[in-house]
A and B are shown apart, each in its own frame.
Chain A
Amino acid sequence: MAARSAPHPTPLIEVRGLAKRYGGVVALDNMNLAVERGTIHAVVGENGAGKSTLMKALAGAVRPDSGTILLDGQAIAIDSPNAARKRGIGIVYQELSLFPQRSVLANLFVNREPTRGGFVSVAAMEARSRDLLDQLGLHVDVHAPVSRLSIGEQQLVELCRVLLEDPRLLILDEPNSALNKRETERLFTVLQRLRARGNTMLYVSHRLEEVFAISDRVTITRNGRDVLTKDRTALTIPEVIEGMIGVQHDVLFPPPLPHRAGQAGARIAVENLSNDTLRDISFTARAGEVVGLAGLEGSGVSNLLAVLFGTEAARSGRVTYPDARGLPKHPAEAARRGVCLVPADRRRNGLMLDKSILFNISQVAVGAGRGGSPWFSQSRALERANRQIAALRIKARSPYSLANELSGGNQQKVVIGKWLEIGPRVFLLDDPTRGVDVGAKREIYGLIRQMSADGGIVLFSSTELPELIGLCDRILVLYQGRLAGELSGAQLDSRTLLHLINTAELPSARDSGPEFAVPGAIGVPEGRP
């Protein structure tokens, strides 16, 4: 790789001391990066490490607070996506930004359609895109709407659209999160062909195996900083994992609370649960326990929680709840039986943003119940709101403040508070600290401990490993819809967990085989903090 970049001693793009804060949350804190010409440069890191913010800063979608970006050794300002495009920086985001109802061609030339005599010229579009489509191996009807293509093909259309701008730097932000194995391989072939042509690429991912398969150089990020940059050949997966995890902030996690007596018997038992995504999942969770759920995007963690809450159907298997009954048929039944779900996307699935805290806290107590008074008492709603505002320390001007006016952490507390009002027995928490600042995270951890100490059964999914390690008694890891393994006690450490999440390599807990067998061993597991 070094040989290829020799004629250009200055890197194509260089980032020095980039910083970006969102309110109290530090997204970037002294980030440095140098990408050499004609290489595929991978940026890895856990959620919240700052990878995506860095890419957005390079693509002009985010303005950094301080720091410099140098292109060809010259400091430049990228203050809009258009400015980035003019400088030759193209980005393919994780989420597709295509127009599903429009044709492939129309999508490829959005906003810069070639014209002939004032009319959009389809012939010119075809001529200009044909070569590139061939190179990408995308043999589809270019006049058909994009929605008819597979997700993988759509991703390639998106890539093709960016490539038509002939960018000097191509940024791929988790481009294969929606791709299957074959599509990923196809994507990688394309990337390698582009590199051979001399293109430069920045590749963001947290799937380490793929990073090792495609990249020339790797930069590890953590807490908004670059930790390490090395040639891929000089790195091993365990080293990268080590760099991504770093030192944990144990202080964040409150110690377990003493359990209340008399509740220990309650448990939830899942046996051979299967549906379109899930395959043969079995486990139990007891009252007073925090059970973690971990897995990559698409591994089935969210689906498992959805099935348990009654929003997704199970095809086979048996689930027994503490009330000795089976799966709820719909959320209303779940709510009435004391099963609650704190959804990952609180703004879309948890809150009525144009309504007050008072209104939102009453969602379940007033909305879900059957029988009882047909009236909605404002004074009782106010009682509920004040009770939860005090108990959860929700920072708001008054119970009449709109949910939309609250910060992320306080919004999440409102979502939790609406459920606490009905005293649930089973807590399904789907990544409850996503996008929440550190202070609020700590308080939410305390709440989770409290739920468990009060005799609740807590299933807690998260994309942040330290959280899972710090809070959970046991962690179930899902991989492609099946239970890849279960970690508890001394096994609970980040390296083991990250390995299991990425590779499904540990033997499942139900197997009688060796309990701890990591190929290419990554050192002695740490005890629980």
Chain B
Amino acid sequence: MKDETMSQQTAPRAPEARRRLPDEIGVIVALAVMMTVIGVARPRFLNPLNLLTILGHTTFLGMLAVGMVFLLAIREIDLSVGWIFNFSAVFTALLMVAHIDPWICAVAGVIFGAGLGLLNGVLVTTLRLPAIIVTLGTFSMFQGLSLVVNNSRAVVPPGQDSSYFNAISAKLFGVLPVPAVVFLVLAVAMHLVLHRSRFGYRVQAVGSNPEAAELAGISNAMVRLQTLVLMGAICGLSGAMYVGFRGAIDPNEGSDFVLMVVAAVIIGGTPLSGGAGTVIGAVIGTLIIQVISSGLIFFGIDATWSTFVTGAVIVLAVSLDQIVKYQRTRRARRARPSG
């Protein structure tokens, strides 16, 4: 018995790669196929300028999706993200209207978003309620407060030739929009946080088995709180950059974010059962949603169809998730030694 154990140990399988990559490769292939099909039919679609526009459009929503991965990974969901985004953007813009340095306003916006996330987190942990319930309430609270402070009108900050606005609307190497760069950097950073930090480890542990995590000394409440604050901060960052990029914040911007954000994360392959997540998948998922809606336009189909198609893609992605999970449990049952 001992010999057998030893010989098995000396030949370890290829790490992680074997298990995790296929998920993301799946969505990457899906995205590539989709772009190829559209590109063959409408070559103009593959024009780099068009692709960069698509990337630019996804940025603000995509950042939220990156944060939402952490929430789904702890078996929670934050419905209020769209309004944290909006409220933070309005807050940032109003500070700019008050002639505070735009850079300071932007930082304040991020902190403000984190504060709204903290409010969600405190409610979730003290009331011991699922985040979906709490954020259903704060969804409307943040929307209402945002509408109160902006008088239901777009907020347009002055001095849009200042360094902040120039920096955000600049293009790196003359092509890459700065928000897209920030988005990609954030995605890489959050990918590392999820898989290589202790916080990320705890997120996965709590999502996988909250009771076992608690008994291993991982405070579920603390992880929930931290995750919701992180989510809020990312919404704040997205909102602050949005003001710099568009030069204004509409009262309803962000109202339809949450469904698309969750859709992107699910399409990307983050399991609904929690315990795991893929930031890269979420980025690809966001791109897939954006490619669908742009692609439909290129085919001359009415843009209103994109909502339906996005929904259909979600159903497809969830079905695939379920099939994969089913096969995994079957494989696990077969692999378990008897005795």
Residue contact A349 to B212, C-beta cutoff 8 Å: yes
Residue contact B214 to A331, C-beta cutoff 8 Å: yes
Measured in the bound complex, the distance between the Cα atoms of B199 and A376 in whole Å is 8
- Is A195 positioned at the interface, with any CB of B under 8 Å from its CB? no
User: In the complex, which of the residues A336, A351, A375, A386 contacts B209, with contact meaning CB atoms closer than 8 Å?
Assistant: A351
Measured in the bound complex, the distance between the Cα atoms of B241 and A258 in whole Å is 67
Given known A330-B219, A348-B212, A367-B201, contact A398–B337 (CB-CB < 8 A) = no
- Is A62 positioned at the interface, with any CB of B under 8 Å from its CB? no
Residue contact B9 to A405, C-beta cutoff 8 Å: no
Residue contact A331 to B216, C-beta cutoff 8 Å: yes
Residue contact A437 to B13, C-beta cutoff 8 Å: no
Q: How many A-B residue pairs have CB under 8 A?
A: 139
User: In the complex, which of the residues A363, A373, A390 contacts B205, with contact meaning CB atoms closer than 8 Å?
Assistant: A363
Residue contact B211 to A348, C-beta cutoff 8 Å: yes
Measured in the bound complex, the distance between the Cα atoms of B335 and A356 in whole Å is 14
- Is A215 positioned at the interface, with any CB of B under 8 Å from its CB? no
- Is A343 positioned at the interface, with any CB of B under 8 Å from its CB? yes
With a cutoff of 8 Å between Cβ atoms, the chain A residues found around residue B170 in the complex are: none
Contact-residue bracket for chain A: 35 or more
Given known A393-B5, A397-B13, contact A375–B198 (CB-CB < 8 A) = yes
Given known A348-B212, A398-B12, contact A332–B332 (CB-CB < 8 A) = no
With a cutoff of 8 Å between Cβ atoms, the chain A residues found around residue B199 in the complex are: 374
- Is A368 positioned at the interface, with any CB of B under 8 Å from its CB? yes
Residue contact B208 to A368, C-beta cutoff 8 Å: no
With a cutoff of 8 Å between Cβ atoms, the chain B residues found around residue A389 in the complex are: 5, 9
Residue contact A367 to B216, C-beta cutoff 8 Å: yes
Residue contact B216 to A335, C-beta cutoff 8 Å: yes
Known: A354-B276, A376-B200. 15 other contacts (CB 8 A): A311-B215, A335-B217, A353-B208, A359-B201, A363-B212, A363-B216, A364-B217, A367-B201, A374-B197, A382-B15, A397-B8, A398-B13, A402-B332, A406-B337, A407-B339
With a cutoff of 8 Å between Cβ atoms, the chain B residues found around residue A354 in the complex are: 208, 273, 275-276
- Is B18 positioned at the interface, with any CB of A under 8 Å from its CB? yes
- Is A378 positioned at the interface, with any CB of B under 8 Å from its CB? yes
Given known A352-B275, A375-B197, contact A367–B16 (CB-CB < 8 A) = no
Given known A336-B217, A400-B19, A404-B332, contact A366–B208 (CB-CB < 8 A) = no
Measured in the bound complex, the distance between the Cα atoms of B213 and A3 in whole Å is 60
Residue contact B13 to A363, C-beta cutoff 8 Å: no
Residue contact B13 to A404, C-beta cutoff 8 Å: no
Of the listed residues A331, A367, A375, A393, the one surrounded by the most CB atoms of chain B closer than 10 A to its CB is A367
- Is B218 positioned at the interface, with any CB of A under 8 Å from its CB? yes
Q: Could you list which residues of chain A lie within 8 angstroms of chain B, going by C-beta atoms?
A: 22-25, 309, 311, 330-336, 341, 343, 348-356, 359, 362-364, 366-369, 373-378, 382, 386, 389-390, 393, 395-402, 404-407, 418, 437
Nearest 8 CB-CB pairs, A to B? A368-B217, A24-B339, A335-B217, A23-B339, A23-B338, A352-B208, A367-B218, A363-B216
Residue contact A355 to B216, C-beta cutoff 8 Å: no
Q: Which single residue of chain B is at the shortest CB-CB distance from A410?
A: B337
Residue contact A405 to B335, C-beta cutoff 8 Å: yes
Given known A23-B338, A390-B9, A396-B8, contact A405–B332 (CB-CB < 8 A) = yes
- Is B224 positioned at the interface, with any CB of A under 8 Å from its CB? no
Measured in the bound complex, the distance between the Cα atoms of B195 and A378 in whole Å is 9
Q: In angstroms, how far is the closest chain A Cβ from the Cβ of B329?
A: 8
With a cutoff of 8 Å between Cβ atoms, the chain B residues found around residue A400 in the complex are: 12-13, 15-16, 18-19
Given known A389-B9, A400-B18, contact A349–B215 (CB-CB < 8 A) = yes
- Can you list 5 A-B contacts (CB < 8 A)? A331-B216, A355-B208, A378-B16, A404-B336, A405-B336
Residue contact B12 to A355, C-beta cutoff 8 Å: no
Q: In angstroms, how far is the closest chain A Cβ from the Cβ of B116?
A: 24
Q: Which single residue of chain A is at the shortest CB-CB distance from B274?
A: A354
- Is B306 positioned at the interface, with any CB of A under 8 Å from its CB? no
Measured in the bound complex, the distance between the Cα atoms of B204 and A351 in whole Å is 12
Q: In angstroms, how far is the closest chain B Cβ from the Cβ of A166?
A: 38
Q: In angstroms, how far is the closest chain B Cβ from the Cβ of A11?
A: 34
With a cutoff of 8 Å between Cβ atoms, the chain A residues found around residue B4 in the complex are: 395
Q: In angstroms, how far is the closest chain A Cβ from the Cβ of B75?
A: 12
Given known A24-B338, A395-B337, A400-B16, contact A349–B211 (CB-CB < 8 A) = yes
Q: In angstroms, how far is the closest chain B Cβ from the Cβ of A502?
A: 30
Given known A366-B198, A386-B9, contact A341–B332 (CB-CB < 8 A) = no
- Is B196 positioned at the interface, with any CB of A under 8 Å from its CB? yes
Measured in the bound complex, the distance between the Cα atoms of B213 and A418 in whole Å is 12
Residue contact B205 to A406, C-beta cutoff 8 Å: no
Interface residues of B in 189-243 (CB under 8 A from A): 195-202, 204-205, 208-209, 211-219
With a cutoff of 8 Å between Cβ atoms, the chain B residues found around residue A355 in the complex are: 204-205, 208, 275
Q: Which single residue of chain B is at the shortest CB-CB distance from A378?
A: B196
- Is B2 positioned at the interface, with any CB of A under 8 Å from its CB? yes
Of the listed residues A343, A348, A352, A368, the one surrounded by the most CB atoms of chain B closer than 10 A to its CB is A352
